[in-house]
Amino acid sequence: MKFNDYKYERPDMSAYAVDMGEKIERFKNAESFSELKEVIKEINVERDKINSMMSIVGIRSSIDTRDEFYQKERLFFDENGPLIAKIDMDYYTAMNNSAFKDEITSEYGEFILDKAKLAVTTISEEVLPLMMTENKLISEYRKLRASAKIEFDGKINNLPQMTPYLMSKDRETRKEALIKTTAFFEENEAEFDRIYDELVKVRTDIAKKLGYENFVQLGYDKLGRTDYTKMDVKNYREQVYKSLVGLSTELKERQAKRIGVDTLMIYDDNFNFKTGNPTPKGEEKWLVDRAATLYKELSPETDEFFTFMRERELMDLTSKEGKAGGGFCDYLPHFKSPFIYSNFNGTSGDVDVLTHEAGHAFQVYMSRNQPISEYYWPTFEAAEIHSMSMEHFAYKWIDLFFEEDTAKYKFNHLNGSINFVPYGVTVDEFQHFVYENPDASPDVRKAKWREIEKKYLPHRNYDGIDLLERGGFWYRQGHIFEMPFYYIDYTLAIMCALQFWHKSNVDMKSAFSDYLELCKRGGSLPFKELVKSANLIVPFEDGAIEKIIAPVKEYLDNVDDFNL
Ligand code: ZN
């Protein structure tokens, strides 16, 4: 059976509500744990079915945005989202009140009960209208960004269309492109400020109504962070400052020399080599064939996985007319099938899809037999460990894709990981300030952003571009508006992935076996426990960052990057 044969049927929502209602009643009235276990299984079968139908709709309506049938089905799920969420909520409430908590813990671990608890403490009837306001504001932000019409190179461009100019080999082009892009944000400064201010206020309101002091802990709870606190994250950011910012600044100085400029300016940030960025040497079929070799040689499990993905046609990779932009990995639990969606465009990003997104897909494939749906995927910061580490395990075969650009790719990839971290913690520290001081004015927020930026990104130079000098760079960072506190997750995962990189250099077999076991554990444990279970150092620990980046620095120091 191929993906196109996976049958879509619109769920009968009232039948679903009645059926789930009965099952939840049986859950409440179960007289033995074996009875309860049976109901949990049945509930998950039904949820897996409906989630799979929703995912099929999401995937097919993105592959062809002109397909009216799936556009209509998409609306159907948008409309029924609240009902589905309400049923889940009833289930979690029943679980919180269950007399069989000890048995649930010994069968599934504690994490499911923690998740059930958070599912009901982070929401209530009273805050639903406020959450709708929040969603409306997020849509306004997306619309405002999408409204950009930037005149450049003799045509009108939206923000993504400006990317190639921002990475141009010609410095004047990069500079002009950044000035024009920033002008769009500056012209709409009042509107970005208004949307964000209202978002901060409504989130603070929601938090207070739910009994939180402010939005910070609610943000953490919504992300399922049950085994670390904002103090751990603060300690982590301090370590980044102490142990990593120096290396990042050194790398930025090397970049300036490499590309031949006296002072590295913001518009040079993404321009890494005079000779251009590393690019894969072929298109979809060629790349997928090479990925098949990589996964065949890496392990029997990855070979089985990738063969499954290919035979069932569970990847839609190349851009085509009518296809929506972006890239993601989804999972159809009813068919035990991951799905990879992307828009290949001839950059090294194409290979990232076949390593990073495939890493996500491999993890969920290995977790497909987890006994409860909540454990198919881990929390976000843990999920990125699987994807980012797969990028590193792929190094051994990366020459298959990049040929003469191989050394350049590896240097660029590690260099990029290190340089991303200080920016990631800037975004994080800013948000802690914002939600701990919800009444701060937009100007005070911007000044704070600039102050934090100077701490973690001392090498950043805005060359007098007004809005950026005043602390307005973050308008373009969608996560800040759409998913508060999420961004640091990428940096935490980098710290874990770099450990797998080092371990795979020392002993590939044992490193991959730890990784494989981690994938199988799926989301059955919270972040820190998953990290420890894979024999990795938890990034929050004192001295962790220093230890983790030492071998990376040694590697980068030994690369003759001037000749790449
Ligand atoms: Zn990812």
Give residue 378's pLDDT band: very low, low, confident or very high (50, 70, 90): very high
Give the position of tokens 């792929």.
394
Cα dist from 164 to 146, 160, 174, 274, whole Å:
17, 8, 9, 15
353 CA to middle of ligand 1, Å?
A: 9
How many whole angstroms from 395 Cα to the centroid of ligand 1? 18
CA distance 251 to 556: 9
Q: Which two tokens stand for residue 321?
A: 């007319």
CA–centroid distance, residue 531 to ligand 1 (Å): 17
Mean pLDDT on 451-470: 97
* pLDDT above 90 for 219: yes
Please say whether the dihedral angle defined by the alpha carbons of residues 556, 558, 562 and 564, taken in this order, is positive or negative: negative
Q: How far apart are the CA of 487 and the centre of ligand 1, in A?
A: 12
Residues 168 and 501 sit within 8 Å (Cβ to Cβ): no
- What pLDDT was estimated at residue 326? 85
Lowest mean pLDDT, pick from 66-75, 143-152, 159-168, 336-345: 159-168
CA distance 20 to 17: 5
- The amino acid sitting at 90 is D
pLDDT of 315: 98
Instruction: Report CA(468)–ligand 1 centroid distance (Å).
Output: 28
Distance CA 201, CA 130 (A): 10
Q: In this predicted structure, what is the pLDDT of residue 188? A: 98
DSSP line for 194-237: HHHHHHHHHHHHHHHHTT-SSHHHHHHHHTT--S--HHHHHHHH
Alpha carbon 400 to chain centroid, angstroms: 27
- Span 496-528, pLDDT tens digits: 999 999 999 999 999 999 999 999 999 999 999
Is a pLDDT exceeding 90 seen at residue 82?
A: no
Q: Which DSSP letter does residue 350 get?
A: H
Task: Give 352 Cα–ligand 1 centroid separation in angstroms.
Answer: 10
Q: What is the pLDDT of residue 319?
A: 86
Q: Does residue 522 contact residue 374 with C-beta atoms inside 8 Å?
A: no
* 391, two tokens: 């990028």
The continuous run of DSSP H or E covering 3 comes out as none
Greatest mean pLDDT among 81-90, 123-132, 201-210 lies in: 201-210
pLDDT at 443 over 90: yes
Total-model pTM:
0.95
Mean pLDDT of 464-491: 97
- Strand 315-318, strand 150-152: pairing: unpaired
Q: How far is the CA of 456 from the centre of ligand 1 (A)?
A: 24
Per-residue pLDDT at 444 exceeds 90: yes
How confident is the model over 425-441, as a mean pLDDT? 98
Q: How far is the CA of 320 from the centre of ligand 1 (A)?
A: 23
Residue 160: pLDDT band (50, 70, 90) is: confident
What is the Å distance from ligand 1's center to 307 Cα? 21
- φ, ψ at 317 (rounded to 5°): -105, -35
Average pLDDT over residues 336-365: 94
**Distance from Cα 387 to the centre of ligand 1, integer Å:** 6
For the ranges 31-40, 116-125, 182-191, 332-341, the lowest mean pLDDT is seen at: 116-125
> How far is ligand 1, taken at its centre, from the CA of residue 207, in Å?
28
- Percentages helix, strand, coil for the chain, rounded to the nearest 5? 70, 5, 25
State how far the Cα of 174 lies from the Cα of 414, in Å rounded to an integer.
24
- Specify whether the CB–CB gap between 543 and 551 falls below 8 A: no
| Res. 391 pLDDT band, cuts 50 70 90 | very high
Q: What is the pLDDT of residues 225-272, one digit of tens each?
A: 999 999 999 999 999 999 999 999 999 999 999 999 999 999 999 899
pLDDT value at position 181?
97
pLDDT of residue 138: 94
DSSP state of 279: -
Tokens of 313: 């046609």
Average model confidence (pLDDT) across the chain: 96
Name the pLDDT band for 63 (thresholds 50, 70, 90).
very high
Confirm if 177 and 463 have CB atoms less than 8 A apart. no
Q: Is 347 exposed, middle or buried (0-12, 13-18, 19+ CB in 10 A)?
A: middle
* pLDDT of 125 higher than 90: no
Q: How far away, in angstroms, is 360 Cα from ligand 1 center? A: 7
Cα 382 to middle of ligand 1, angstroms? 10
Residue with tokens 């409860």: 372
The number of helix segments (H) and strand segments (E) in the chain equals: 26, 5
- Name the nearest CA neighbour of 185 among 475, 547, 498: 475
Q: What is the DSSP letter of 367?
A: T
| Torsion angle of C-alpha atoms 286, 292, 298, 300, degrees rounded to 10 | -170
Provide the token pair at 285: 């079929």
Of 488, 479, 485, nearest to 381 by C-alpha is 488
Angle in degrees, 0-180, between the axes of helices 128-146 and 189-209, rounded to the nearest 10 = 160
DSSP-based three-state secondary structure for 155? strand
Mean pLDDT of 202-225: 97
Cα 217 from Cα 288, distance rounded (Å): 43
Tens of pLDDT, residue by residue over 268-287, are 998 999 998 899 999 999 99
